[in-house]
Each structure stands twice: as C-alpha cells, then as structure tokens.
Amino acid sequence: MSAPSLLDCPEAQFAIAAVREAAQLTRRVQQEMCTEALTKGDKSPVTVADFSAQAIVAKRMAEALPDARLVGEEDAADLNATDEGRATLAQIQHFLEANIPGVSADEVCQLIDHGNAKPEGKFWTLDPVDGTKGFLRGDQYAVALALIEDGQVSLGVLGCPELNDQLSPELGGSGALLIAKRGEGAFVASVTGDAEWKPLKVSPCEEVKDTRIFRSVETAHTNTGQLGQLAGAMGVEAQPIPMDSQAKYAVLAAGGGEMLVRLLSANRPDYREKIWDQAAGSIVVEEAGGRVTDLDGKPLDFSHGTSLLENRGVLATNGQVHQAALEALRAIGA
Ligand code: AMP
Ligand code: MG
C-alpha cells in the first residue's frame, strides 16, 4: 500500500527515522561486539548499544524537534566516573562516529543526558534497547520510542531488528518497524526501509481456550507459577510462548497471538512497570484493534513519572479474550 497518512507529521517522520537509525546502530554493535570471544556475563555490548542508541535518538530529536523533551532509560553519569566507564565511552564514541562524524566524548555525554527531561506534560520516552537479555542472547529486542501527552501515549514506534517472518513474510530478514498514532491505526514496514507499509490487525480469535499467550523469557520478570494457574483458569492447554522485549506487543498487534501478560514476580510483588517498557508497545496493540490494561482492568496511566505507579502489571490482548482473562486473573487472586 502507499504510505499511510499518519506518517505525514514531523513527529512521526522523526520517530521512524530515529528508531530506524538506532536499530541499525544496535545491530552494528551486536555484530562487532557479541563475538564468541566474549565471556559469559559480559554486559559491555548491551551497555554500548544502549547508550549509543539513546545518543543517536537524542541527536536526531534535537535536529528535528528542538523543543521536544526526552525521557530515556540511560544517563551518562557513570561514563566519566571510572576507568571502565571511560573505556565504554570511547567505544560508544567509536560507533557513533559513523553517524555523527567527529563527535567528541563530551558531546556523546551531552546527547545521552538530553534524555534526562522531566516526565511531565508532553514528552518522548525511549528504551534504547528493550530486552537487553534477548539482545545478548541473539534473541528478540526492541528500540522503543513513544510520545506521551498528558498521561496518554499518542504515538509509538517499535524497531524490532530480529522480528521477521513472525510478522510478515514480506519483511524477509530485514527486521520490523512498527508505528501507531492514536486514532489513526498501526502499520508495519521493515527496519531497513525496503518493505512497504502494511496495516496491522490483531487476531480475530474469540475462543478463549485457543488463546496464544506471550510471557517474558526472564522468569524474574513475571510469575511462571501463577501463569500456569491463569492459563488453567482460561482453559488454555498450550504452553505460554516466551519472548523478550516489546517484540511481544509487535507480534500480538500482527495477530500472531492473542494475549501478553506481565504478572508480578513473587520476589518483586511491588514492582511497577517503567513507562519506556510499555508505552510504544501498548499503543501499537491498541491501534491494531487490541486492548491494554493492567491486571485489574485499569487503563495504563502514564502521568506518574517514569513508572506506572497506579497500575499493577500489564494485560494486553486482541480484545476478544480480555474480559475472560481479567476474570481468570481475579479467580486465581493475581
Ligand atoms: P521482558 O523482555 O519481558 O523480560 O521485559 C524486559 C523489561 O522488564 C526490562 O526492560 C526491565 O525494565 C523490566 N523489568 C525489570 N525487572 C522487572 C520485574 N521484576 N518485573 C517485571 N519487569 C521487570
Ligand atoms: Mg526495557
């Protein structure tokens, strides 16, 4: 199809270009740094990718939307504090050189700290590498950027470099780029820009027992025991599908499953979701026709700083199975 009209505004154009560039950058870091020579537990590639992606989004934002404010997950404080930090900074500078010729270490830090705005009124929120464990394993991860206006997400872009055939065979091996704008739908193209935009639509499945459920790979980010109870209460026999990052939202929006649930882990029952972990993904699912609430059925409220303080966990579905899932959550006391 021809480009959807929601792409016409400067904010959408900035977000697409910035996420695309950041996603390519994370791929480059992964190719060069995630070698077999790396010791297990070495987190340096993800640190370098995280900071580099935040810096490039900040740079493009300052150019395209000079008055915009950014709330990013990372801050540069540690990069100048220790020898290890300074070595990381040098690597970030090296990777950014290809995107910002001649960039200095000071400018890198300033760009990263451009993402320290207050989460109030109208602002952007960024998770430069969501699903860091997936990134290190070579599994799913996402660059997630969203615009929040007065507590509600109004625009979201997800770059999922490892998501291909799960969303659309036409993407080939290019990775997926998704955009959603409130009231104007959700669309997918390739991260590299060589596939046409296609509208996203959630699965029409109404049969609760057939619900395909997505969960985090990391058991510390959910409650696997309770998840088994929840599936049982819904009559679902199939095992939940583990997947890292907001790529789960992307697959849900494309109809590749019916439900995503973030249960509170037993050791962090008071955990509150971070805004950058849910903003872009939730609007993509909503605009593809799905529904997103917390575990109590309340809408996600992005007006309480960097965490969803007034929400417990997340339930995102194709809409059809939402009520049944909420009832099952209540029945198991989750
Ligand atoms: P996932 O890829 O689904 O495992 O989600 C990754 C996100 O989970 C990370 O970006 C973290 O911010 C977030 N996270 C960290 N600790 C927790 C926790 N205890 N419960 C839920 N999410 C968490
Ligand atoms: Mg994250």
pLDDT digits (tens, 9 = 90+) for 53-70: 999 999 999 999 999 999
Q: Place 38 in a pLDDT band, splitting at 50, 70 and 90.
A: low
Pairing of strands 176-181, 152-160: antiparallel
How far, in Å, CA of 151 to CA of 266, rounded? Answer: 29
Residue of 160, 261, 277 with the most ligand 1 atoms within 8 Å of its CB, for mutation: 277
What's the pLDDT score for residue 40? 59
Sequence-ordered alpha helix ranges (H) in the chain: 10-33, 44-64, 83-97, 105-113, 132-137, 224-234, 247-253, 275-287, 322-332
Separation of alpha carbons 188 and 180, rounded Å: 9
- pLDDT confidence band for 78 (50 / 70 / 90): confident
Highest mean pLDDT (candidates 36-45, 158-167, 253-262): 253-262
Is the model's pLDDT at 43 over the cut of 90? no
pLDDT at 173: 78
Name 165's Cβ contacts closer than 8 Å, sequence gap at least 6.
171
Catalytically annotated residue among 125, 132, 211, 317: 132
The model's pLDDT over 286-330, given as tens digits with 9 standing for 90+, comes to: 999 999 999 999 999 999 999 999 999 999 999 999 999 999 999
For ligand 1, is residue 268 a contact (CB within 6 Å)? yes
Q: 98: Cβ below 6 Å to ligand 1?
A: no
Whether 50 is a known active-site residue: answer yes
4 — pLDDT class (breaks 50, 70, 90): confident
Residue written as tokens 């810096």? 55
CA-nearest residue, atom 22 of ligand 1: 221
Query: 96 CA distance to ligand 2 centroid (A)?
Result: 22
Q: Quick one: which of 122, 95, 90 has its CA closest to 106?
A: 90
**What is the CB neighbour count within 10 angstroms for residue 232?**
13
Q: 151, 152, 154, 143: which is closest to 181 by C-alpha?
A: 154
Indicate the residue type of 175: G
State the pLDDT at residue 332.
97
Q: What is the mean pLDDT of the chain?
A: 94
Taking the chain, what is the end-to-end CA distance rounded to the nearest angstrom?
43
Over residues 274-287, the mean pLDDT reads: 98
- Per the structure block, which two tokens stand in for 34? 């995630």
Residue of 26, 50, 211, 294 marked catalytic: 50
Query: Does 221 sit in the ligand 1 pocket, CB within 6 Å?
Result: yes
| Greatest CA separation for the chain | 59
The yes-or-no answer on residue 132 being catalytic is yes
Summarised one tens digit per residue, pLDDT across range 181-228 is 999 999 999 999 877 899 999 999 999 999 999 999 999 999 999 999
